[in-house]
Amino acid sequence: MARLDLVLDDIVQLRKPHPCGGYRWRVTRLGADIGLRCMTCEHKVMLPRATVEQRTKAHFDPEGQPKPSPNSENAS
């Protein structure tokens, strides 16, 4: 089971865009549910961790540097 190593203020890119067109979300809360804020329109959502893990396409640290993803098969 792939597990995201999420840290507060990390950035995740989801597989589907928000209706505003934004793909990137800032992690604002960690727990059983993950709090995310759309970086384009500031909309906030709470999603179960499993849902976030399923929908995450790319993962970045707070500075926007890519983090290794357990889902990527070509990581060197």
| Cβ-based neighbours of 37, under 8 Å, separated by 6 or more | 25, 26, 28, 43, 44, 45
Nearer to Zn ion, 20 or 30 (CB): 20
Asked whether position 41 contacts Zn ion by CB under 5 A, the answer is yes
Contact with Zn ion (CB under 5 A): which of 7, 20, 30, 50?
A: 20
Burial of 76 (0-12, 13-18, 19+ CB in 10 A): exposed
Nearer to Zn ion, 20 or 50 (CB): 20
- The residue ranges that bind Zn ion (CB under 5 A) are 18, 20, 22, 38, 40-41, 43
